[in-house]
Chain A
């Protein structure tokens, strides 16, 4: 409709003559305006298809002084592309830029300031300052909004210059501009600058007053501007719950915007500020009710947006399951959904599964398991297993569904089913073992390591009930060398279990596997485990039995939940790449400062001072109940029990710790645990062990040297408690210096420390001297004197 009368541009692409550059040069220097313009278009066409036309730089720049807007835009475009490769010649353009910044036409002023900012040549930057300063105060809002972004551009090239020239103040002033587009771009530029250099905070820090202005501009600006503003608001910390609520009230109308980006950014603000409000209040209940419909509607958007929405819903469902608990059906998979949407929906379905809707879910999963897409089918089968573990009442139905699926004999379905059945056995021991016979029928078809390992685990675990367990395991042993490491480990453990349960006639088998593991393998894990078993069996078979056949803790209901501190951080990043990856930005953004976002603590107006965030005693009663995530650990004990079948299994190693303030510290404090002692005891002398482990823990050789503290317990594993520490020697005494950092959402308290008996003979000389409460985000340093025990 716009090109109807015009010739198309494609003709500009068609010059292929040899002397092309030469010819273009002549045309660019032509006296005829029209010919010049045509020539510039040809140059741009060449540039578009990737030809190098940088040789024409001076000739193109000569065309810059024109009153034809279209021509000017093309020359500017050329400049942006080639200025970096021709910095000296780019200077030639400066004068025209400066002149254009004072043109009477605001479109030209804006164009000039916009383009200048894109020419990332140092020499030009200094000439940019004066025009930019003028444009920031231009009478035309179109120029001002362009200049606002230009400040961010300049900051990216030369941050110091921007600060020295006072541009940050000018930018801040634009937050009060009468034009909402200007405000929005100023906000965007400010967020960008703050992200890059936290030092700018002093000037650009938002306060309640600015937030108010932003909320007013919100109603008037473009959809994108609304997102910039909402994202900036989400980074603000309200002073109390009243302010948080009033911001929420003004943000919720945005949930009715047609643009998905506006909706998700509004969701982010609400999810974040809701943390500060009284969880049981009517207002919070109402907010949560308001969030559900817009989230559901996002699933009618384009598939890529659905994908982003689903990844975020996955976080929201973990943080506040109540919001979408009645919306299961909207996550049912449609035949024509792209595979990435299908997989995400499936994941959310499982998270929303409850006793009330399990029948429907199971019927759906069964349907999905007969689809054609292999990945999707696998995940569906796995999901059936997860349902069984999650909803006890449905376990039987799930198992029978899985058996049906095994009957289909579809190879990957069978393998996947066996993997999940192993988990079901662990959750409900002594209940479904009658199906083992059916499983054994499919031994030959298993060619994936995880399925083989699972089957071997099942055989070892129920060796006493499977008559031919020895034969079955022996059959696996034949190709031991070629097996995947996890299968080898599992086979080793299973055969040891078999031997402990049925010692007659299995001795040869166990010796065979021990020698394969210890002598013929390059894998240190396998060798170590082999040796441990070997010694246990040879020195104290009773102890071996106790260790290997120990009663296993039940696996927990929820698998693969995101660890709470990370989840909170990701909630602060709703809608961003981090929320899609489920990874903190530091994991994929280069050179990002260690600045992590965290949800604001709950607070009440009136009784709050800056230094003392008030958090309920122990944190637990008033917090919204959150699923406990068990820290994953490559525990030696776990290995011995042969339960290292996969990442999800490792997470389920420990029973959920009761939410008491002391436990997080104690349960994970086994830094020099007994495991090591028993291991090292018989083989090495105490002195050797001290030397060896001393190195590992950074024990100083010289007296004066205090090694830097190392992270002993990461926040992820310590439920938010991070411990760094180092051993040092002062005045002939051994000290253990530790720094406790509370990275969790709530105050920690009741710290205690316990030294297990250790081969160094180190004991605690003084009680743990630590203040009662460790507030969120605070650190405390402790120094523990340790003495060598006297014997």
Chain B
């Protein structure tokens, strides 16, 4: 526990706003922070926690801002980092963006928030819905049309070695909700959860084994532990109800093979083959294959059957975009770059190929929402809407 103080600094280390929670560390200690970070960066020894004398600085970076907390106790670091990230989220919800200007524009409100979210270094209420009750007046919520939107979003994390072996493949799913319900309704969500199906004798039906499920604060965890029921009173508006992870090996949805021919001092040629390995009836939208190229490459030339290619020198890469990529297809792209005759001094390592995509109406895991029961005293009719989408997560294919 116990953050002694929280600061928000600009990129140069100047304090934009701060709050002293415990008064046990001189606030001017923050002047040491930026030089320490710079030293660490020079030494290639950056860590998000820096000890200086008996003070530990713990920090995160957001846009061009540093959010820093100090302590001289054996503080709980998970709390401190979760809290700092939560703080960013709160500011974003209040101000839509978080940058130097939005802090100056709202400093009174930020002071109020800082006073409410932490006391003596202990995080307090950080739920914006509740904060609004203290800090901006909330109205009694009543909707004319009672609706709930459920988005089931699955992200595929993939790591493929240079010789084409899948090193890691993982699905991280989440269910996001937008709730517009009057009053304080009680909700119950039914999924085709394998553990639940087996315990209720429906083992044969199609179900998914959720490896590690994480729930929003509002879900009754002990209830889930007991009988796998997901029951909760939702906060109003948008929030992430749950997330889960599956380690089941699936065929990579978009497979990319690359042949790279480097002719030192003159040119480099790429041949990229992209293959969609999902059912024909699904289609991946907005597919982007981001191919790294040397920083000193010049005169790009592309050839492709489908989609368009764009050289993005600021990212040292080529972006090959295919707006619509149906299942079971295979497309080719060729790229050609000139290289300077003098070799650059800095070696660049071997950045991987990244792929972005979205496949609507489809989940890799096969997870399904079976029902969403809404129980409210007045007994109004509410409409649940469900959408499914699969997209790329951290999707990397290493290159030769």
Residues of A within 8 A of B (CB): 1-3, 8-10, 12-13, 41, 44-45, 48, 50, 70, 73-74, 77, 80-81, 84, 107, 114, 117-118, 120, 145-146, 149, 152-153, 156, 181, 185, 188, 191-192, 195, 219, 222-224, 227-228, 231, 250, 252-254, 256-261, 264-265, 293-294, 296-297, 300, 302-305, 307-309, 329-330, 332, 334-336, 338-340, 360, 363-364, 367, 370-375, 573, 575-581, 585, 588-590, 592
Q: How many angstroms between the C-alpha atoms of A146 and B124 in the bound complex?
A: 9
Quote the shortest CB–CB distance from A283 to chain B (angstroms). Answer: 15
Quote the shortest CB–CB distance from B397 to chain A (angstroms). Answer: 10
A-B contact pairs, 9 of them (CB 8 A): A44-B107, A48-B107, A145-B124, A156-B24, A188-B122, A260-B81, A305-B78, A332-B167, A373-B349
Contacts of A224 in B (CB 8 A): 79, 83, 122-124, 126
Residue among B21, B79, B105, B136 making CB contact with A227, cutoff 8 Å:
B79
Residue among B101, B136, B351 making CB contact with A10, cutoff 8 Å:
B101
B371 interface residue per 8 A CB criterion: no
> Are B76 and A576 in touch, CB under 8 angstroms?
yes
**Given contacts A222-B217, A334-B396, are A573 and B74 in contact (CB under 8 A)?**
yes
Interface string of B149-164 (1 = CB under 8 A from A): 0000000010101100
Contacts of A336 in B (CB 8 A): 394, 396
Q: Please, which residue of chain B has its CB at the minimum distance from the CB of A339?
A: B46
Contacts of B348 in A (CB 8 A): 372
Q: How many angstroms between the C-alpha atoms of A329 and B167 in the bound complex?
A: 7
Q: How many angstroms between the C-alpha atoms of A139 and B309 in the bound complex?
A: 67
B44 interface residue per 8 A CB criterion: yes
Contacts A3-B105, A181-B125, A257-B214 supplied; 9 other A-B pairs, CB < 8 Å? A1-B94, A2-B109, A48-B16, A118-B23, A227-B79, A257-B221, A258-B217, A360-B167, A575-B77
Q: How many angstroms between the C-alpha atoms of A577 and B245 in the bound complex?
A: 28
Contacts of A152 in B (CB 8 A): 120
Q: How many angstroms between the C-alpha atoms of A28 and B323 in the bound complex?
A: 62
Residue among B44, B126, B134 making CB contact with A373, cutoff 8 Å:
B44
Q: Please, which residue of chain A has its CB at the minimum distance from the CB of B118?
A: A224
Residue among B72, B76, B82, B225 making CB contact with A590, cutoff 8 Å:
B72
> Are B161 and A367 in touch, CB under 8 angstroms?
yes
> Are A253 and B221 in touch, CB under 8 angstroms?
yes
Residue among B45, B115, B122, B168 making CB contact with A228, cutoff 8 Å:
B122
Q: How many angstroms between the C-alpha atoms of A39 and B107 in the bound complex?
A: 15
Contacts of B217 in A (CB 8 A): 222-223, 257-259
**Given contacts A372-B347, A373-B44, A590-B54, are A231 and B221 in contact (CB under 8 A)?**
no
Q: Please, which residue of chain B has its CB at the minimum distance from the CB of A586?
A: B74
B69-125 interface (Cβ within 8 A of A) = 71-79, 81-85, 94-96, 101, 104-109, 111-112, 115, 119-120, 122-125
Contacts of B15 in A (CB 8 A): 50
Q: Please, which residue of chain B has its CB at the minimum distance from the CB of A335?
A: B352
> Are B221 and A219 in touch, CB under 8 angstroms?
yes
Quote the shortest CB–CB distance from A141 to chain B (angstroms). Answer: 12
Residue among A70, A73, A149, A308 making CB contact with B81, cutoff 8 Å:
A308
Residue among B56, B115, B161 making CB contact with A588, cutoff 8 Å:
B56
Contacts of A329 in B (CB 8 A): 167-168
> Are B215 and A9 in touch, CB under 8 angstroms?
no
Contacts of B350 in A (CB 8 A): 370-371
Contacts of B17 in A (CB 8 A): 48
Quote the shortest CB–CB distance from A374 to chain B (angstroms). Answer: 7
> Are B45 and A576 in touch, CB under 8 angstroms?
no
Number of A-B contacts (CB under 8 A): 244
Contacts of A73 in B (CB 8 A): 111-112, 115
> Are A70 and B108 in touch, CB under 8 angstroms?
yes
Q: Please, which residue of chain A has its CB at the minimum distance from the CB of B21?
A: A118
Contacts of B22 in A (CB 8 A): 156
Quote the shortest CB–CB distance from A474 to chain B (angstroms). Answer: 36
Contacts of A45 in B (CB 8 A): 107
Interface string of B162-173 (1 = CB under 8 A from A): 100001101010
B369 interface residue per 8 A CB criterion: no
Q: Please, which residue of chain B has its CB at the minimum distance from the CB of A372?
A: B349
Q: How many angstroms between the C-alpha atoms of A475 and B85 in the bound complex?
A: 57
Please count how many residues in chain B sit with their CB below 8 Å of the partner chain's CB atoms.
Answer: 92
**Given contacts A50-B15, A192-B1, A300-B172, are A588 and B54 in contact (CB under 8 A)?**
yes
> Are A192 and B2 in touch, CB under 8 angstroms?
yes
> Are A107 and B245 in touch, CB under 8 angstroms?
no
> Are A261 and B79 in touch, CB under 8 angstroms?
yes
Residue among B44, B49, B157 making CB contact with A577, cutoff 8 Å:
B49
Contacts of A10 in B (CB 8 A): 101, 104-105
B127 interface residue per 8 A CB criterion: yes
Q: Please, which residue of chain B has its CB at the minimum distance from the CB of A119?
A: B23
> Are B111 and A258 in touch, CB under 8 angstroms?
no
**Given contacts A261-B79, A580-B49, A585-B74, are A149 and B105 in contact (CB under 8 A)?**
no
Contacts of B104 in A (CB 8 A): 8-10, 13
Q: How many angstroms between the C-alpha atoms of A578 and B74 in the bound complex?
A: 6
Residue among B48, B108, B222 making CB contact with A44, cutoff 8 Å:
B108
**Given contacts A335-B351, A589-B73, are A252 and B225 in contact (CB under 8 A)?**
yes
B267 interface residue per 8 A CB criterion: no
> Are A260 and B78 in touch, CB under 8 angstroms?
yes
Contacts of B45 in A (CB 8 A): 375
Q: Please name the 4 residue pairs, one residue from A and one from B, whose CB atoms are nearest each other, closest first.
A: A293-B212, A8-B105, A261-B78, A372-B349
Contacts of B79 in A (CB 8 A): 224, 227, 261, 575
Q: Please, which residue of chain B has its CB at the minimum distance from the CB of A311?
A: B77
B20 interface residue per 8 A CB criterion: yes
> Are A265 and B76 in touch, CB under 8 angstroms?
yes
**Given contacts A2-B136, A9-B108, are A576 and B75 in contact (CB under 8 A)?**
yes
> Are A575 and B76 in touch, CB under 8 angstroms?
yes
Q: How many angstroms between the C-alpha atoms of A73 and B114 in the bound complex?
A: 11
B240 interface residue per 8 A CB criterion: yes
Interface string of B18-38 (1 = CB under 8 A from A): 001111100000000000000
**Given contacts A334-B159, A588-B56, are A264 and B78 in contact (CB under 8 A)?**
yes
> Are B108 and A3 in touch, CB under 8 angstroms?
no
> Are B122 and A253 in touch, CB under 8 angstroms?
no
Residue among A9, A70, A145, A581 making CB contact with B107, cutoff 8 Å:
A9
> Are A588 and B105 in touch, CB under 8 angstroms?
no
> Are A302 and B81 in touch, CB under 8 angstroms?
yes
**Given contacts A8-B105, A334-B396, are A589 and B54 in contact (CB under 8 A)?**
yes
Q: How many angstroms between the C-alpha atoms of A13 and B225 in the bound complex?
A: 53
Contacts of A9 in B (CB 8 A): 104-109
Quote the shortest CB–CB distance from B250 to chain A (angstroms). Answer: 15
B229 interface residue per 8 A CB criterion: no
B211 interface residue per 8 A CB criterion: yes
Residue among A223, A302, A371 making CB contact with B60, cutoff 8 Å:
A302
> Are B220 and A219 in touch, CB under 8 angstroms?
yes
B211-235 interface (Cβ within 8 A of A) = 211-217, 220-222, 224-225
Q: How many angstroms between the C-alpha atoms of A2 and B136 in the bound complex?
A: 8
**Given contacts A8-B106, A256-B215, A300-B172, are A149 and B78 in contact (CB under 8 A)?**
no
Q: Please, which residue of chain A has its CB at the minimum distance from the CB of B85?
A: A302
Contacts of B205 in A (CB 8 A): none
Contacts of B220 in A (CB 8 A): 219
B315 interface residue per 8 A CB criterion: no
> Are A581 and B51 in touch, CB under 8 angstroms?
yes
Quote the shortest CB–CB distance from A167 to chain B (angstroms). Answer: 15
Q: How many angstroms between the C-alpha atoms of A84 and B26 in the bound complex?
A: 12
B47 interface residue per 8 A CB criterion: yes
Q: How many angstroms between the C-alpha atoms of A760 and B95 in the bound complex?
A: 79
> Are A256 and B221 in touch, CB under 8 angstroms?
yes
> Are A74 and B108 in touch, CB under 8 angstroms?
yes
